[in-house]
Structure 1
Amino acid sequence: MKLNDLQKGRGAQKNPHNRFLKDVYEIREDFLEFCRLEGEEAENTKTQYIPIFPKSIVNKVESPDVGMLYSMNPYQGCEHGCVYCYARNTHEYWGYSAGQDFERKILVKEAAPKLLEAKIKHKNWKANTIVLSGNTDCYQPAEQKFRITRKCLEVFLKYRHPVGIITKNAFILRDLDILTELGSHQLVGVNISVTSLSEKTRRKLEPRTASMQKRLKTIRVLSENGIPVNAMLAPMIPGINSHEMLKLAKAVADEGALSFGFTVVRLNGAIGQIFADWIKKAMPDRAEKVLHQIQDCHSGTLNDSRFGVRTRGEGKIATQIHEMARLARQKYFKGRVFPKLNHELHEQYKTGQMKLF
């Protein structure tokens, strides 16, 4: 494979330099040609699961515009391979690249359920919704092997603690039994990411994710079982999926979603060069147009780090996206309300048993 070929099954097509590392590692075309002639692989492209041993698992979210106070991530890195993912940059803190390393070096926190239990049992902890996951998908393929997310949900249920879930994987339905019981106590809310109704677009943007048909079915099944669902129509990328806003909103509303949210894409940190490299290989006919329209939403750059503005965007294109969202809410979500989760039950169950008095 040459450096300018599109590697299928992965989002990022390169491993950009880690800004925290002094040395630069790169694969040259002459080395690739040598490996081809010798019948050898230039590098290991298979997904690796790497155990890590954190001392804590619940993170306090300091960013004021994220919409959550606490999150936890059973896995770091994500095999879904969404090329636009803002979480890619966090892989650099572990010594890896935000590019293909993010998709194929998955850090696994098998102690997460025990750490979570210790956290919510602490005498000073007051129940507040903890979100699975604020960074990487808790139902990515690794969950089929390690079942860490399910074990964490069992902890939340045991202690009657509110939990939010963000995922784009239909595999969440494996845990419908636990989710239904959590839902009966108003202890869970689920956010399902729906990016495009076009499978061609989905396969390019998010190569190892569930199909849109499966995601829509997931919204329907969860809703039918009394589990509130918010659809995340995110990110909206001008020239790729932004024109689908109304159709996406109608589709998720028809399946029972109670609300939807969206963001305007921003390509922060190393993601700018990862996305630019990808789109020139995956969509060469519209690459420059898309990049310029993204820049138009962020004052001429691919990224805007200002709180309150960074995910909303500015300018005419961003305004059009917001107007479509406003119309979608009026047309398809009038009268629907996503419920607040129950924060009152947990105190009675903090010791694992109900208090008699």
Structure 2
Amino acid sequence: MTPSSGSLMPIPQHDITGVLSTVNGSTKWGIFISFFNLVYGYLLVASQLRPDPRQDSWLLMRSPLPTYVLSVAYVVGVTWLGPRLMAYRKPMESLRPFMVVYNAFQVVFSFWLMYESGMGGWLTSYDIRCQPCDFSDSPEALRMLHATYWYYFSKFVDFLDTVFFVLGKKYEHISLLHVVHHSLMPVSMWFGVRYQPGGHSTLMGFLNSFVHTVMYLYYLLAALGPRVRPYLWWKKYLTTLQMLQFIAIMIHSVQLAFIECKVPTQITWWVCGNACMFLVLFASFYQQAYIREMTTPRHMDLIGGFNQSSNVSRVTRLEVPRGDILTGCRRKMCGEGQFCPRMRPTPVD
């Protein structure tokens, strides 16, 4: 999948600078959020809770540092190194089959994670109001333990979302929301799995796996091409579903302050804080993409960010001053099936 030297093409220098400056704006925030979660985990979780001995020999579970390094490498790779390697190359045009396979895998994987965490407690014996973690070797506890570990592992698989954006040169999709979401999840999930691999805080993984099942089903359909596009009218409701997920997680965490429950507050407030931050970012996207849709074309979608599909209508972009990238188009036809570009900068969340 590495572009050959024959795929090089000249791009105006101001266009390259504009693209890279926009993408690079998410680099520092992605690194900062990952580091903040690492420090929080060390100071307020690892120093006060005992690690689960059942996973001492598992891959990546001895220390959070390898997970942190992988998260930082992801941020640098997709916001700095990748765009520079692709700067003078054409977008890869053979990604659709890989995206179809990838999204189909994510649908099955996410559904399996939801089912396993459900059968590990949330659809069987868990108490929605207060559920301490079970560290025993009972079949249900071990099932939830494995479900949480594979949910943590899935956060690395999700990195491929952004890799496809870089290879397709869809840099406008690498938003602050997208980078922050993907960079903080592995580190925060490491501490969750290592110290509370079950119980109250795992509702987040259960709900998120359901949302990801629906989300990747949408992207699978979108990657199949224009024939299914008329059936993708529900993307707005997908964003709403994601926000409802965060609201439910926040309520589920906050209600512990009003009852007596032997659940570590370090984990629940961490989950609640991240859910609150994501709710704000997703609400900002929702306002920009849908509430203002009377003046902004509906060309974006959300994957902790945006639409993966390469089958959207072609857009003619204007050459613009340094630091600006134009997105969007009017519904007026311009030339051979292309839409006229509209002078509207890409929002930065």
TM, length-normalised to structure 1: 0.25
Does 1 or 2 have the higher relative contact order (CA < 8 Å, sep 6+)?
2
Q: Which has the higher helix share?
A: 2
